[in-house]
A and B are shown apart, each in its own frame.
Chain A
Amino acid sequence: QVQLQESGPGLLKPSETLSLSCSVSGGSINDYYWGWIRQSAGKGLEWIGRIYSTGSTNYNPSLRSRVSMSLDTSRNQFSLRLNSLTAADTAVYYCVREASNIAGRPTDYWGRGILVTVSS
């Protein structure tokens, strides 16, 4: 059973940079897309982007100028960085996996989520 676990700071100040990691257990990071989705009261569920095990990325155009993703296959982890934070970035951040053997690659596994609050 694949499990994903987010880690990182829960409280940041405006203009700071968010760095989150996601540890993958119960399966390999290879040959899958891994992504980040956030959920806030104001905007519902928002897809941030994804990274393939080879390192290729797709980002949401609304966040592209501020976001980057990376992965470490040796540690079975992948990461999110989001800079120039504002209060609007306050949300629960989920790391997710996209299925590899189903057309359209639906999101089939989610982490528990981590609440990130941006406040001075």
Chain B
Amino acid sequence: DIQMTQSPSSLSASVGDRVTITCRTSQKILNYLTWFQQKPGKAPNLLIYAASSLQSGVPSRFSGNASETEFTLTISSLQPEDFATYYCQQSYSAPRTFGQGTKVEIK
């Protein structure tokens, strides 16, 4: 299985802050990396696919980047509705594996 190491596990930030979350994979996965946002009691919601492609309807303050086995999700200016938990998932091979999540909290 491909191991996903996501960091940090949680962070506190203020509205307007720039936030970056990192996901490292145990092997190369091309760009087959997806980012999800999950709010309490809801299913995860697709934000970014193919490492850097923004899903339709997702605000442009969200962006993704990739370098070898390191992937990042950046929120350029944190908004109140962005406080949530974020997960990465690789879709390069089965079983598809997830990062452990990053909870973004209000400072």
Contacts and interface: CB of A to CB of B under 8 A. Distances in A.
A54 interface: no
A45 B98 contact: yes
Interface in B35-49: 36, 42-46, 49
Interface in A50-76: 50, 58-62
B44 A110 contact: yes
A103 B29 CA distance: 12
B95 A104 contact: no
A31 interface: no
Contacts, number: 69
Interface residues of A, number: 25
Interface in A85-106: 94, 98-99, 102-106
Given A45-B87, A107-B34, A110-B45, 10 more contacts: A47-B96, A58-B95, A61-B1, A62-B95, A106-B32, A106-B46, A106-B50, A107-B36, A112-B43, A113-B43
Interface of A: 44-47, 49-50, 58-62, 94, 98-99, 102-108, 110-113
